[in-house]
Structure 1
Amino acid sequence: MNEVVEIKVLEDYQIWLKFQDDEEKVINIRPYIGKGIAEELLDPDKFKSVFIEPGGGIAWSNGYDFCPNFLKELTGVETQVS
């Protein structure tokens, strides 16, 4: 199973992720926020409150979250980090 083990919030709604298999990615979260419960995450301070949830995904206190499998398989919006 994929699990995020470390995160760092970057500029412009991007998050650096490290997975349990040592793969690292920078994910642009901006395309996924701005509507519904995710609208409040446009506030940079609220966006920065992201945390790793017990299942290995990422989440915010308002309940918005991303499954680790979804994050692991994202293509086209992330930049691979060596």
Structure 2
Amino acid sequence: MLRPVKVKALSGFRIWIAYEDGVNGEIDLSDIAGKGVFKAWEELGVFEKVYISPRRTIAWNDDLDICADALYLELTGKSVEDVFPNLKSLTQV
């Protein structure tokens, strides 16, 4: 599992995230803001409360989080196979 070590909210529904392997950068989450559970971000101050949960997800509260691995893939442009070479696909089981 890729471990995030720092996260902070930026303007425009963007976050800056850093991982223990040195990878860091900005992720734009504006495309999901206001949709489904992410509608909560429209409430004043909610988006700015981003933190790393004990489960190592990127979270805003106990009910609202995003997989840190998925954000790593988006940030680096790598595929699942690149990052997790020992992961077997369901077709190989």
TM-score (normalised: structure 1) = 0.80
Runs in 1 of length 4+ with deviation above 4 angstroms?
none
Query: Which residue is equivalent to 1:79?
Result: none
- Larger of the two Rg values belongs to structure: 2
Partner of 1:40: 40
- For structure 2, the 5+ residue unaligned runs are 76-93
Distance 1:5 1:25 in 2: 12
For the 8 Å contact 1:17–1:24, the answer to whether it is kept is: yes
Report the CA distance between 1:44 and its aligned residue: 4.5
| Residue aligning to 2:60 | 60
For 2:71, the equivalent position in structure 1 comes to: 71
The answer to which structure, 1 or 2, has the higher relative contact order (CA under 8 A, 6+ apart) is 1
Deviation at 1:62, TM superposition (A): 5.4
Please, what TM-score do these two structures have when normalized by structure 2? 0.72
After superposition, the C-alpha distances for 1:25-52 in whole angstroms (9 at most, x for unaligned) are: 1001111221222102123411101110
Partner in structure 2 of residue 50 of structure 1: 50
Alignment match, 1:2: 2
Q: Distance in 2 between matches of 1:5 and 1:48?
A: 17
Given that 1:3 and 1:55 are in contact with CA atoms closer than 8 Å, whether structure 2 keeps it comes out as no
Paired AA for residue 27 in structure 1: I
Where does structure 1 lack aligned partners over 5 or more consecutive residues? Answer: 76-82
